[in-house]
Each structure stands twice: as structure tokens, then as C-alpha cells.
Structure 1
Amino acid sequence: MTRSVTRRRLVVTAGTLTAALAGCTGGTDDTAEPTPTTTDSTAALTDSAPVPEDASCGVCNMMPAKFPDYNAQLTVEAGDRVFFCSSGCLAAYYVDPGNFEPAHEGATFAGLWVHDHETTELIGARSAWFVRETNADRVADPMQRNPLPFAAESDAEAYVAEYDELSESDILRLTDFDMDLATFYRGRFFE
């Protein structure tokens, strides 16, 4: 236990120093690459963070660090950071956070990040375009059923154009996520 407390203090100290130095060089937005941050500062809540090796998905309990091209994360304005194995788990949590963490019922999110389906770069979920992919056989991602995030609308449109059963109506924004979408992707995790 002492070792993890010491390591945590070192990470918090390093993250605070990094955040302080970043503040001197200019602001960031939720489209930036992951940088070391802490969750005890309001500014840090708007920055993505590296996924800890021991973090478990806030919905399904898988290990997000094992899926570096697919994992996602969000921060709650109250100060918590939640990691996910995939965009489908983030979608479920975004729609009904209180189902997974009672303290987050009605929570407001400071930042949300997903990995672009094509480039695998971490991007801001608020600015992303999502394709409501319904065919688990087309994508080899965790949980085998996820909305596919794209940084550019044109990339989402190109993906949809490849498949007859998909249409422009399958292109969504984060604000379009609803309980129907959440239960389609992660229904078994709702009580």
C-alpha cells in the first residue's frame, strides 16, 4: 500500500508540474493528445489523461489500457475521471451515468474523448462524428458493437457510403446519444 501511495503522489506532483507548465504555453482543448494530468484541478478536467494500466471500464469492467486504439474517457465536473474500453461503453455512461455510478446521477461532463476509428488518435467526443454501426462483424473492436467515432464528418460519410444498410441518418453527434442507442450497444449493463 505504501508503494502505491508514493507512486500516486509522484504522479500527482508530476501531473501538477506538467499542467502548470502547459498553462504557461497556452490553453488546450479536448481534441489534444493525452497528457499527464491530475483530477484535483478544474483545468485538468478539460485535458485527456493517459489510461492507467489498472483502470477498469466504468461500464463493463474490462481493462481500457489493453485497448489503446479504442478506449475512451470522460471527466465529471465534480472532479472524477472515468475510463472505458470503447466508445460504446462511453455512450452508455454518457446517457445514464447514475446507472453505473450513483454519485454521477445528473452529472455534467467537463471533457469526453474517444479514438478516431481510422487514425486511432484520441479526439474530443463533443466534436466527433459517430456512425451507428450495427454489424459487429465489420469491426474488430472491444465488445464488438460500438458507435464508430470520426474526427471529420467526411470520414463518417465515406464509411457509411461503403455499406448499403447504412445511411446518412446513421451519422450522429454526441448530443444525439440517447437511451435507445445506449441500450442497443450496452443493454445488458442497465439494471
Structure 2
Amino acid sequence: MAGKEAAHRRREVVLTFASLVSAAAAGLWAYHFQAERAAQKAEEGAHCETDLEARTPPRPYDPARDGPNPLAPRSIPDEARCPICGMYPARYPRWAAQRIDSGGRVDFYDAPRDLVIHDQWLRQEKGVAEDRRVAAAIWVRDYCSETPSWVAADAAWFVWSPKIIGPMGRPEPAACATEQAARTLAEAKGGEVLRFADLYTRFRW
């Protein structure tokens, strides 16, 4: 009789211990899930927040500083920051890009990918002025030249290859002024040649 009672108690202890372990595991899973979801929401919030404009405001047009044509490419100030990643485009002259809105304001980017992403955000965001949502001119730097000049984005040719690494340490589309230069680079890097419109299907906001 005593043996049966002892066995019964041992069984109760085992079941209680198993229940505690199960509850602890469930609690840990729930904590992990909530923490992961909170991190995801924070990341989404950082990506989609409407204060992109406040964090990195566009630079207004100044004829005395920027010249008589408000749609011409402008010099990148050393302190200018990319509105998407926060990097300093002036430090990456072969990759830099800029978007001028119909109000004459300009945003500078460290690479064409961020320009495309920001342009999509501006088009969709209802909290910014209407003329901010319209791109009047978009310029990219000629990556294929040793002395990169500005090229209108619609006229440029882009090369996408996992071997072409941009300022963010990841593959980026490299702009070239001519189709021949782009095809030469694509052949050398095992990449594909794209037009500017193609970047909008490749990189989504």
C-alpha cells in the first residue's frame, strides 16, 4: 500500500514538473513572439513613418546658389543625408542621385535604389504637399565614368549584378550614361541591363 502511495506521489510530482516546464516554454515562446512582433512593428514604423520629411527635409531651390534652372542637377552639400538610409551622398560621388520635385526642392540619395524607394513613398504619402509628390527631374551619377557626371535617370542605363556593391554594402543598380558602357559593365560583372522604369518593379516601397 505504501509503495502504491509513493508511486502515486512520484507520478504527481512528475506531472506537476511537466506542467511547469510546459507553461514556462509557452511563456518563453509568447515572450519571444511578442518581442519579435514589437521589433517588426518598430522596423515597419521606421520604414513607413510620415516624419521622413521632418528627419531629412528637402533642400529648397535658391537661384543664387543653384543657378537659373531649378531642374538642373545641383551640387551635393557635405551635410546632406539620404532620406531613406541617412547616409551622406556627397561621400559617394559615383553612386549619388537626386530628385527635384515640382516645387523646386531637392532630395539627395547615396544610391539610385533609395531614390526609387523614396519616390514611391512620396507618391503614396498623403501627408506631404502635392508638389512634393511630383518628380520634375531625377538625376543619377554615371558610375561607368572615372569622372562621374549627372545623367537624366530616364536616359540612363542601369546594371544590376550581385558583384556590384554600393555604399550600403549590398548590391545596387549602377547607372551608366550609354547603353554600350552598361553592356560592357554587365558582361564584366555577370549582370543584367535595365532602364530606370525597371527599377520600380525591382525595388518596391
Provide TM-score, normalisation by structure 2: 0.59
Larger displacement relative to structure 2 (88-97 or 118-127): 88-97
SS at match of 2:117: helix
Rounded Cα–Cα distance in structure 1 between residues aligned with 2:189 and 2:65: 44
Question: In structure 1, what is the equivalent of residue 139 of structure 2?
Answer: 113
Is contact 1:56–1:63 with CA below 8 Å preserved after alignment?
yes
Is contact 1:95–1:182 with CA below 8 Å preserved after alignment?
no
Matched, 1:148 2:174: yes
Rounded Cα–Cα distance in structure 2 between residues aligned with 1:61 and 1:145: 18
- Cα offset, 1:125, TM superposition: 1.0
Which structure 2 segments of 5+ residues have no match? 1-58
CA 1:93/1:67 → structure 2, altered by over 3 Å: closer, same or farther? same
| Aligned partner letter, 1:14 | A
- Cα offset, 1:147, TM superposition: 0.7
Q: Among 3, 12, 15, which residue is 2:65 paired with?
A: 15
The sequence identity of aligned pairs, in percent, is 24
SS at match of 2:107: strand
CA 1:171/1:96 → structure 2, altered by over 3 Å: closer, same or farther? farther
Which structure 1 segments of 5+ residues have no match? 1-7, 20-42, 184-189
- Cα offset, 1:103, TM superposition: 1.3
Structure 1: 4+ residue segments shifted above 6 A:
none
Answer 1 or 2: which has greater helix percent: 2
Question: In structure 2, what is the equivalent of residue 76 of structure 1?
Answer: 101
- Cα offset, 1:99, TM superposition: 6.5
- Cα offset, 1:85, TM superposition: 0.9
CA 1:75/1:12 → structure 2, altered by over 3 Å: closer, same or farther? closer
Is contact 2:97–2:112 with CA below 8 Å preserved after alignment?
yes
Rounded Cα–Cα distance in structure 1 between residues aligned with 2:98 and 2:195: 17
CA 1:101/1:59 → structure 2, altered by over 3 Å: closer, same or farther? farther
Rounded Cα–Cα distance in structure 2 between residues aligned with 1:130 and 1:104: 30
- Cα offset, 1:64, TM superposition: 1.2
Equivalent residue pairs, number: 142
SS at match of 1:96: helix
- Cα offset, 1:162, TM superposition: 2.3
Q: Among 101, 114, 120, which residue is 1:95 paired with?
A: 120
Matched, 1:50 2:56: no
Is contact 2:101–2:137 with CA below 8 Å preserved after alignment?
yes
Rounded Cα–Cα distance in structure 2 between residues aligned with 1:160 and 1:104: 39
Rounded Cα–Cα distance in structure 1 between residues aligned with 2:125 and 2:65: 27
Q: Among 155, 158, 161, which residue is 2:187 paired with?
A: 161
Q: Among 128, 143, 146, which residue is 2:156 paired with?
A: 128
Rounded Cα–Cα distance in structure 2 between residues aligned with 1:80 and 1:118: 27
